[in-house]
Structure 1
Amino acid sequence: MPISPNQGSTGGGTVVTITGTNLSGATAVHFGSKLGTITANTATSITVTSPSGTGTVPVTVTTPGGTSNPVSFFYVGAPFKSSITPVSGVTAGGNTVTINGTGLSTATAVHFGTAAATPTVVNDSQLTVTVPAGTAAGPVGVSVTTAGGTNNGLSYTYVDVPTITSVAPASGPTSGGTAVTITGTNLTTTQSVTFAGAPAPFSVISDTTLSAVTPPGTAGAANVVVTTNAGSVTDTGGFTYTAGPGI
């Protein structure tokens, strides 16, 4: 007498199908000492909603002809999530995040806000999932659904790709050390700023403003690249290194 699925939430509510023979007229389905709720019944199958419970319990079907042999049903607790890495990414989605916790081995779905994704279970304490596209930049709740239920509590932030509108001042000596202000959009998650490929120290002032100090460079136009969690933007020739006078 197969049962599918053979596991479900400790809170009950799992819809289970039991198949076999001579099942018509079923009067009761017991999950251990508790009764399930029969919602459909034929001679070869019964659909029943599991009651709450814990551990492994025997499931039996009672008909006018008697009571069946038992099959096992496993109660699974709701998942617990402890962390998500990384915590942000591009609004278009497509990057992979790792979720750590417990009770994750039966995970079937991860929701980012209202968007669902199918996870890859690594083990009971870890899963990975490809982030679906978001509807707009900003934070969304992350929930994991397993045989034991759904657990919320984590947050993921969608971020738009950055833009650069100006670099001021737009020139400075090849020795570096020029304090510049970079303005644009979506700069909050900036990870690096480079001038002609050389990293520059920087500070995030706001989502639209960065301050940076130019590293040493060679005379001529230099590309300014800002990299955030959502990607990179290049201001081609955005800063010009000028050589000092020679005698």
Structure 2
Amino acid sequence: MPISPNQGSTGGGFAATLTGTGLAGATVVRFGSKPATITATSPTSVSVVAPSGAGVVDTTVTTPGGTSNPVPFHYVLPPVILDVSPASGPLAGGSTVTVTGRNLTTATSVLFGDTAVTPTVLSDSELTAVSPAHAAGDVALVVTAQGGTATASGTFAFVAAPTVTGFSPVSGLAAGGTLVDITGTALATTTEVTFGSVPATFAVLSDTRVAAVAPSQSPGTVTITLTTTGGSEAAPGGFLYQL
């Protein structure tokens, strides 16, 4: 006599169905010692709303003809979200987001606002989800598992691709160390600044300004590229390294 689903939240309140034979007129369905609320019966099935519980319990059906064999049911703790990284992504979607926490093994979906995606569960404490396409703005991130739902403490931001309008100064010594002020829009989530192919130390000053320290390079002109969680953008013109 199987039960579906065979696991659920410790808080109860979810629907479950037991199937078998001789179930007509079922009077009691118990999850361990607790009775469930019967919502429908037939000769081959009994539908119930499960009570709260913990651990693994025996589920039985009692009819006028007797009590069924026990079927194990697993109570699952609700999921807990401890961290979401990155906390933002591009409007086009496609960003792999890592969620860490507890009780994530049975996760079945991750909601970005009102859009659900199927997660990849890596362990009981970690899963990944690929962000969907979405309009710009902040949305709630919610994980749904057999044990219930959990909402991240912060929001997930869908951010526009950056634009880089300019930088100053436009040249510096080949030895590096020049402080370069980069201006543009949607720069707040900057994750990398490169001079040519060389990463630079940087600080985000605002959504429109990033300060970067030019790394050492051979003399010549290189492109400054700024990467955010919304995408990448090359600055207009080049930065000239001089002896």
Please indicate, yes or no, whether the TM-score normalized by the shorter chain is above 0.5: yes
Gaps of 5+ in 2: none
Q: Work out whether residues 143 and 154 of structure 1, in 8 Å CA contact, stay in contact via their aligned partners in 2.
A: no
1:145-164 matched pairs, under 5 angstroms: 145-155=144-154, 156-164=156-164
Q: Work out whether residues 109 and 143 of structure 2, in 8 Å CA contact, stay in contact via their aligned partners in 1.
A: yes
TM-aligned CA distance change 1:22 to 1:223, over 3 Å: same
CA distance in structure 1 between the partners assigned to 2:230 and 2:145 by the alignment: 30
CA distance in structure 2 between the partners assigned to 1:143 and 1:87 by the alignment: 13
CA distance in structure 2 between the partners assigned to 1:243 and 1:10 by the alignment: 67
Secondary structure at 2:26's aligned position in 1? Answer: coil
Q: Work out whether residues 11 and 53 of structure 1, in 8 Å CA contact, stay in contact via their aligned partners in 2.
A: yes
What CA deviation, in whole Å up to 9, does each residue of 1:79-118 have, x standing for no partner? 2222223333223221222222221111111122222111
Identical counterparts, % of pairs = 52
CA distance in structure 1 between the partners assigned to 2:193 and 2:108 by the alignment: 40
1:206-245 matched pairs, under 5 angstroms: 206-215=206-215, 222-236=222-236, 238-239=237-238, 241=240
Q: Which amino acid aligns with 1:2?
A: P
What CA deviation, in whole Å up to 9, does each residue of 1:60-82 have, x standing for no partner? 11222222222111111112222
CA distance in structure 1 between the partners assigned to 2:201 and 2:235 by the alignment: 17
What CA deviation, in whole Å up to 9, does each residue of 1:113-153 have, x standing for no partner? 22211112222222222222233133x33222111111223
TM-aligned CA distance change 1:199 to 1:22, over 3 Å: closer
Is the counterpart of residue 5 in structure 1 residue 2 in structure 2? Answer: no
Instruction: Pick which of 10-19 and 195-204 moved more.
Output: 195-204
1:112-151 matched pairs, under 5 angstroms: 112-138=112-138, 140-151=139-150
Aligned residues: 242
TM-aligned CA distance change 1:170 to 1:25, over 3 Å: same
Q: Which amino acid aligns with 1:146?
A: A
What CA deviation, in whole Å up to 9, does each residue of 1:196-238 have, x standing for no partner? 33444433221011233445666765422111222210134x1
Q: Which amino acid aligns with 1:12?
A: G
Q: Work out whether residues 84 and 154 of structure 1, in 8 Å CA contact, stay in contact via their aligned partners in 2.
A: no
Secondary structure at 1:191's aligned position in 2? Answer: strand
Alignment-derived partner of residue 189 in structure 1: 189
TM-aligned CA distance change 1:63 to 1:11, over 3 Å: same
What CA deviation, in whole Å up to 9, does each residue of 1:8-43 have, x standing for no partner? 111111211111111112222111222211222111
Instruction: Pick which of 50-59 and 222-231 moved more.
Output: 222-231
Alpha-carbon RMSD: 2.5
Q: Which amino acid aligns with 1:149?
A: G
Q: Work out whether residues 167 and 239 of structure 1, in 8 Å CA contact, stay in contact via their aligned partners in 2.
A: no
TM-aligned CA distance change 1:50 to 1:194, over 3 Å: same
TM-aligned CA distance change 1:174 to 1:105, over 3 Å: closer
Q: CA deviation at 1:5?
A: 0.9
Secondary structure at 1:11's aligned position in 2? Answer: coil
Is the counterpart of residue 34 in structure 1 residue 40 in structure 2? Answer: no
Q: Work out whether residues 18 and 46 of structure 1, in 8 Å CA contact, stay in contact via their aligned partners in 2.
A: yes
Instruction: Pick which of 209-218 and 75-84 moved more.
Output: 209-218
Q: Which amino acid aligns with 2:120?
A: T
TM-aligned CA distance change 1:93 to 1:242, over 3 Å: closer
Gaps of 5+ in 1: none
CA distance in structure 2 between the partners assigned to 1:241 and 1:112 by the alignment: 43
TM-aligned CA distance change 1:151 to 1:217, over 3 Å: closer
Q: Which amino acid aligns with 2:12?
A: G
CA distance in structure 2 between the partners assigned to 1:219 and 1:126 by the alignment: 46
Alignment-derived partner of residue 77 in structure 2: 77
1:22-101 matched pairs, under 5 angstroms: 22-101=22-101
